[in-house]
Amino acid sequence: MNKLQLPLERATTSTFEELTLLWAEDDATAGGGDGAFDHAMRVRFHGAAEGFLEVRASRGLMIAAAANMLGDDNLVSHELGVDALGEVANVICGNVLPEIAGSAGVFRLDSPAACDARANVQADARCSLTLDGGRVEVLLVVDYMKDQP
């Protein structure tokens, strides 16, 4: 297991549980997902480390996450579902970066952007979870990391 894997699993699990109130049914596991992902949001980061974090999810999970965040099933549109998935990606990214690059590093995160959920990505770490609302996969790609003192 590389040094990125455990921080990614921790940040993914805690973000889904605390932000979207969706609990993991199984432990976080490394490896690929089942490919049944309709949507993906990617957050690029710059600064003490450069790369991106991507969250892939089914439409059902995306809507469930948004409904829980809003506290109202009836308010959720497709656009808000996409927004929620982007915010999940943003929070996972913001929480995992200090763990892998040190809390002294300063990062700038781009706004989440939609991307191809089925693209073949050579990730440096990958985490799949089964949650109440479906499956989710999170990929972390690090192009550069500043040496920690």
Return the bridge partners of 55, or none: 41, 138
CB of 67 to another protein, least distance (A): 10
Fill in the per-residue mask, 115 to 144: x = in contact with another protein (CB under 8 A), - = not in contact.
------------------------------
Q: Give 60's contacts (C-beta < 8 A, 6+ positions apart).
A: 133, 134
Q: Is 114 in the site for another protein (CB under 8 A)?
A: no
Residues within window 21-50 making contact with another protein, judged by CB under 8 A: 48
Stretch that binds another protein, among 24-32, 98-106, 114-122, 129-137 (CB under 8 A): 98-106
Q: Is 6 in the site for another protein (CB under 8 A)?
A: no
Q: Report how far apart, in Å, the C-alpha atoms of 65 and of each of 35, 47, 137 are.
A: 19, 29, 14
Nearest to 19 by CA among 60, 64, 58, 65: 65
